[in-house]
Amino acid sequence: MPDLSYIEAINQALHQEMERDENVFVLGEDVGEFGGAFKATAGLYEKFGRRRVLDTPMCEWAFIGLANGAAMMGLKPVVEIQFADFISTGFDPIVQYAATTHYRWGAKLPLVIRAPWGGGACAGPFHSQCKEAWFAHCPGLKIVIPSTPHDAKGLLISAIRDPNPVIFFEPKYLYRRQKMEVPLETYASPLGKAAIRREGSALSIITYGAMVPEALEAAETLSAENISCEVVDLRTLVPLDKKTVLDSVRKTSRALIVHEAVRTAGFGAEVAAIISEEAFDALDAPPARLTAPDTPVPYSPPLEKAFRPDADKIAVRARELIRY
């Protein structure tokens, strides 16, 4: 198996699904000859041509609406939003139309919206936001946030094959920071299934996206202090794998929920509520959250470092929970 980076795994998934199914096509800003802002679509234009790799104007409302119509007619559009922050200008066709179509009259709408997501690149408030909670609040959408190259490929393939609209957030901080063995053959990883990245007995760290490697690093640090942390990678926020989360918390009796989105009404609040409602008797401490503060994402490198959770901050919060 070759070693691939996260972005290479995304690219391979797109190549393989476009080869497998002629109804799959990609569209977005600079996805054609330029290969995408992060090169996720590199080589697709040369291989599949302009009919299946469409450069669009800077108008997310229009090209997401176009993708909705194409999906309604049996095609399988994969939209690239250049930065996840820009998805707000296409909000209406996602939440008013794509999310409600099947409910309203039973139609399939196989649409994938890929969006480079999150901070870590010192790109400021317009290119660093985590807005997954917007869409988790909207029934009819699936939300996927892989943390590894292996999952990036397998979950994207599953998203493309799914008959429902999927928002596929890609932590751009991870695009080129890790490599791992990824099977060359096509494979689909199941949506709605969390992964236990590390077994533990004293504390469950529940997280997703770019915070997964930070949680694993924190868990390694804490193991030297005889604090055994279990790391749960949600992978899919909607549908959420409640069973894996609750089983982990019932085993460890403590839960620390970590995400790099801001705190108020973040997805971590939903996870904390589920744990409180369904595993309260198992808890030895209140569910805790570690998040970004309720401010726009800073541009300054030292301010962004202070803004985002990391392994050191996770370890500090975990020690507090253990002492509770």
CA gap 165, 139 in Å, rounded = 11
Whether 291 shows a pLDDT value over 90: the answer reads yes
Q: What is the mean pLDDT of residues 280-289?
A: 97
CA gap 140, 231 in Å, rounded = 28
- Give the model confidence (pLDDT) of 80-114 as tens digits: 999 999 999 999 999 999 999 999 999 999 999 99
- Give the model confidence (pLDDT) of 5-23 as tens digits: 999 999 999 999 999 999 9
CATH code of residue 98: 3.40.50.970
- Give the model confidence (pLDDT) of 31-66 as tens digits: 999 999 999 999 999 999 999 999 999 999 999 999
- In our burial notation (b when 16+ CB lie closer than 10 A, e otherwise), range 240-265 reads bbeebbbbbbeebbbbbbbbbbbeee
Same domain membership, residue 151 and residue 10: yes
Packing angle between helix 149-161 and helix 6-20, nearest 10 degrees?
A: 30
Give residue 2's pLDDT. Answer: 82
Q: What is the mean pLDDT of residues 135-140?
A: 97
Q: How many CB atoms are located within 10 Å of the residue 198 CB?
A: 17
In the three-class reduction of DSSP (H, G, I as helix; E, B as strand; rest coil), residue 291 is classed as: strand
- Determine, yes or no, domain membership for 189: no
Whether 233 shows a pLDDT value over 90: the answer reads yes
Give residue 1's pLDDT. Answer: 78
Whether pTM exceeds 0.75 = yes
Catalytic residues: 127
- Determine, yes or no, domain membership for 187: no
Q: Which domain holds residue 102?
A: 3-181
Same domain membership, residue 167 and residue 48: yes
Q: Say how many CA atoms lie within 13 Å of 156 toward its Cβ.
A: 34
- Give the model confidence (pLDDT) of 147-197 as tens digits: 999 999 999 999 999 999 999 999 999 999 989 999 999 999 999 999 999
β-strand 255-262 against 236-238: which pairing, if any?
unpaired
Same domain membership, residue 174 and residue 59: yes
Give residue 311's pLDDT. Answer: 98
Q: What is the mean pLDDT of residues 265-281?
A: 98
- Determine, yes or no, domain membership for 190: no
Same domain membership, residue 176 and residue 151: yes
